[in-house]
Amino acid sequence: MKKINCLFILITIVLAFFKIFSELDQGIVIFLKNGSIVLTLFIPYILNKLFKLNINEGLIFLWIIFIFLAHYLGVICELYNKVEAFDKITHTFSGFLSSGVAILILDKIKSKKLLFNIIFILSFTSFCACLWEVFEFVCNEFVGGDAQRVALTGVSDTMWDMIVALLGSIIVIIVYYFKKYSVKEIQ
C-alpha cells in the first residue's frame, strides 16, 4: 500500500506541476493556490512525524485520493465550476475520510462502546464539515470570491455540503459496525 500511495502522490504532483507551470502568468495567488497541493499531499506524513500518530497507509490512501479529487481536479482543474455534482462528491468523500480519522482516534483510545463510537464518528465528521465551511466563509470574507456559492444558493450549498459529508459518515459507520461488531456477535 505504501508503494501505491507514493505512486499516487508522484502522479498528482507531476500533473499539478504541468498545470502550475502552464499558468505561471496568472499571478502569485493562482500559483500559491495551485502549488499548495504539494504541502497538502504530505500532511498525514507530517502529522505522523510530528505527533507520532501512526496513521495507517489505508487512511493515507483516502487522504491522497481526497486531495486529488478536491484540490487537483476541483481547484486546479476547476471541476467545481464545470461539473455541478463534483462539490457534493468531494464533500461525501470528506465524510469517508473524517470518519476514518475518527475511527483511528477510537482505536487509539480503545473504545468498545458501540453507541459512543457511532456518536463520536458522526460528531467528528460534523465538526470537520463545520470547520471547512467556516474556513470557506472566512476566505470569502478576506479574499473575496464565493466558494460557498451564497450569491447563487443562499445557505443551501453549505448545508448540502454538510449533509452529504454526514451521509458519507453514515456509510462508513455501517461498514464499521458490520466489520467490528456484528461479526463478533455472530460467532
Please write the tens of the pLDDT for every residue from 123-169: 999 999 999 888 888 877 777 766 666 666 668 888 999 999 999 99
In a domain, 187, yes or no: no
Q: Say yes or no: 88 and 174 in one domain.
A: yes
In a domain, 166, yes or no: yes
Its pTM stands at 0.83
Give the Cα separation of 136 and 90 in Å (integer). 15
| Range of the structural domain that residue 125 is part of | 84-178
Last residue of a domain, one of 75, 102, 132: 75
Please write the tens of the pLDDT for every residue from 77-91: 989 889 989 999 999
In a domain, 139, yes or no: yes
Q: Say yes or no: 166 and 102 in one domain.
A: yes
**82, 155 contact by CB (below 8 A):** no
Query: 28-35 and 2-22 helices cross at what angle (nearest 10)?
Result: 170
Q: Say yes or no: 52 and 123 in one domain.
A: no
Domain count, the chain: 2
Give helix then strand counts, H and E, for the chain: 11, 0
Cα separations (Å) of 151 from 10, 76, 156, 161? 37, 22, 11, 16
* Dihedral (CA of 117, 121, 124, 127) sign: negative
Last residue of a domain, one of 52, 75, 98: 75
Q: Say yes or no: 25 and 99 in one domain.
A: no
Q: Say yes or no: 113 and 35 in one domain.
A: no
